[in-house]
Structures are given as structure tokens and as C-alpha cells.
Amino acid sequence: MATKTAVRSSSGAASLAGVLLVLVGSAAVAGLDAETGLRTWAELRSAERVARARVEALERDVDRLRAEVDALASDPLARERAIREDLELARPGEWVVRFGPAAGLASSPVDATSRNSR
């Protein structure tokens, strides 16, 4: 009986070694395969993170734009402000202050009639 137990133990060790060899071989193939390997998986994972961040940013933009649409639909002053900003209009006696590299001078009085004649 002792002999049979020893034979079973060595065959069990051999099958365990075979399983480990298959696992190590599979891991090596997965790691080295250029099309489906770990590098590709890591690149896809990184691309997914970038895409998710972009989706979140776009969702924030959508929320901001929806709020702006709601304000324009319900608030006459918001409509007037948006129109005046888009068309660069000012009422007589108002000052238009522009910020940014294309602004030129910091501020200047604007005559509404001359702005409307453009």
C-alpha cells in the first residue's frame, strides 16, 4: 500500500507541475502577444480613462448649456445680455470693456449708433 501512495503523490506532483507550466506559458504568451497582450490591454485601459474624462467634461458642458438655455428662455435680461455680448452692442453712455489679447485698448466709450451701423 505504501508504494501505491507514493506513486499517486508523484503523479499528483507531475500533474500540478504540468498545470503550472501551462499557466506560466499562457501568461507569457498573453504578455508578449502584440495584438492581445498586456501592453494592448494597458493602452486600452488608458484610452478608456481619457474617454471617460472627456465624457464627464462634455456632460458638464451640456449641463452648463442647458442652464443657459433655461435662462434665455425665461429671463428677458439674460436674452438682452446674450444678444448684446454676441453683437458687441452697448447702450448710449455705456462703456465696453474687453479682456484678452485681441482687445487692443482696455476700455473705450461706445456710441450705440456707430456700433449699430457696422
CA distance 11 to 20: 14
Give the residues across from 96 on adjacent strands. 108
Q: What is the mean pLDDT of residues 67-88?
A: 91
pLDDT, residue 28, reads 77
pLDDT, residue 59, reads 98
- Residue 72 and residue 100 in one domain: no
Q: Are 93 and 118 in contact (CB under 8 A)?
A: no
Q: What is the mean pLDDT of residues 26-47?
A: 80
Cα dihedral across residues 30, 31, 33, 39: positive or negative: positive
Q: Is residue 13 part of a domain?
A: no
Q: Note the pLDDT tens digit of each residue in 49-58.
A: 999 999 999 9
For residue 99, the enclosing domain spans: 92-118
Q: What is the number of structural domains in the chain?
A: 2
Q: Is residue 108 part of a domain?
A: yes
Query: Could you tell me which of 94, 99, 91, 97 has the C-alpha nearest to residue 116?
Result: 91
* Model-wide pTM > 0.75: no
- Residue 83 and residue 98 in one domain: no
Q: What is the mean pLDDT of residues 77-89?
A: 88
